[in-house]
Homo-oligomer: A and B are copies of this chain.
């Protein structure tokens, strides 16, 4: 008898009908001989509505109180799902993050899990009951205050719980039917992957693949929790996420992702002195600005340009931070360009196939797409291009690596 952790996101439980459908799904999973632990997000757009309500009431939003407010969302959903399960004759109990044993740090609105002590969950499972756990919730070990793990935190709750319980599999139910070789909205012949490694999925989620939440994939990789990313609206098999199997043939290229949510920031006329870049990126880090791709041009006459990308929401903060430094550094100016996008080619087998980058550049150039910045890792090649060309770039690369036919395998 397998122990399965099933996580259902907000769209999966958006209304009473959907909650009953999820209950039916859980009941059927049990009928097939599994024990089930459910992790659930707030219904539909409820979290957004709670945030709007907070905005209507106050301008001050202490993190402690925001977490108390936001966690009301999962609380509703989990109680309702437990009731719907009872309706189907399945004994179920809802649990808050605190009751489920999620001990976190005190970083409100974005708490980190310190420890999971799922005693009550284990007891419920042993009693043949279905625990329904509120996602993204915890309690601060130090202050006993309620904490929220942040957006996408329900995926992390599910993975951490699966690890703590020694579950056989952690199923992440979303509104897509698995992990695709590319965004199916853009690439018509994008293919659902049967299997993908943690490393590859991590690069994918870090580079624009929206689901599952990157943090949960990191947690799963660190603790070796097998994931099954699948649809809450069908019974079809999704994508299995596992450790890279070295006996297994590796795809040279597995997927093409893209990300349109970044801005390029350029500081021009930077004197090419040691320590200048360090000073800049330290200042950005201190302002919690997540810098991604960094490119420094070749120095001409002792002066260079430094470009990097930041999440679009951090644009103003990045611009402010850079402007403060421009004078100090003796640089010329700060330019921001939001009309960029990143396209990435990802594959675990790339490590042993150095020709991938060249093929990426040739393909883009062959389609008249100019590359503005480049960044690579052992299993990824990313290029920054004009935003209005990114869909063409994705399709061209998907075609070039023939991803619609299944993975191109390394020797």
Interface residues of A (CB under 8 A from B): 16, 19-20, 50, 53-54, 56-62, 64-66, 68-69, 71-73, 75-76, 78-80, 82-84, 86-87, 92-94, 96, 99, 120, 144, 146
Q: Is the CB of B71 within 8 A of A75?
A: yes
Residues of B within 8 A of A78 (CB): 68
Q: Is the CB of A69 within 8 A of B64?
A: no
Q: Is the CB of B16 within 8 A of A57?
A: yes
Contact partner of A53 among B54, B76, B87, CB < 8 A? B76
Q: How far is the CA of A54 from the CA of B86 in the complex (A)?
A: 12
User: Main SS of chain A's interface residues?
Assistant: helix
Residues of B within 8 A of A75 (CB): 68-69, 71-72, 75
Query: Which among A75, A76, A79 has the greatest number of chain B C-beta atoms within 10 A?
Result: A79
Residues of B within 8 A of A59 (CB): 87
Closest-CB distance, A59 to chain B (whole angstroms): 6
> Chain copies in the assembly?
2
Q: Is the CB of A83 within 8 A of B61?
A: yes
Residues of B within 8 A of A146 (CB): 96
Closest-CB distance, A276 to chain B (whole angstroms): 40
Q: Is the CB of A64 within 8 A of B93?
A: yes
Residues of B within 8 A of A71 (CB): 75
Q: How far is the CA of A82 from the CA of B68 in the complex (A)?
A: 10
Q: How far is the CA of A65 from the CA of B99 in the complex (A)?
A: 14
Residues of B within 8 A of A56 (CB): 16
**Closest B-chain residue to A80, C-beta based?**
B57
Closest-CB distance, A62 to chain B (whole angstroms): 6
Q: Is the CB of A58 within 8 A of B76?
A: no
Residues of B within 8 A of A66 (CB): 79, 83
Q: Is the CB of A19 within 8 A of B80?
A: no
Q: Is the CB of B69 within 8 A of A57?
A: no
Residues of B within 8 A of A64 (CB): 82, 93-94
Q: How far is the CA of A64 from the CA of B69 in the complex (A)?
A: 21
Q: Is the CB of A86 within 8 A of B72?
A: no
Q: How far is the CA of A83 from the CA of B86 in the complex (A)?
A: 37
Q: Which 10 A-B pairs have the closest CB atoms?
A: A69-B79, A58-B83, A60-B86, A68-B79, A16-B56, A72-B72, A58-B87, A72-B75, A65-B82, A16-B57
**Given A16-B57, A19-B57: A62 in contact with B86 (beta carbons within 8 A):** yes
Closest-CB distance, A72 to chain B (whole angstroms): 4
**Closest B-chain residue to A75, C-beta based?**
B72
Query: Which among A19, A72, A99 has the greatest number of chain B C-beta atoms within 10 A?
Result: A72
Q: How far is the CA of A65 from the CA of B129 in the complex (A)?
A: 14
**Closest B-chain residue to A132, C-beta based?**
B65
**Given A60-B86, A83-B60, A87-B59: A65 in contact with B53 (beta carbons within 8 A):** no
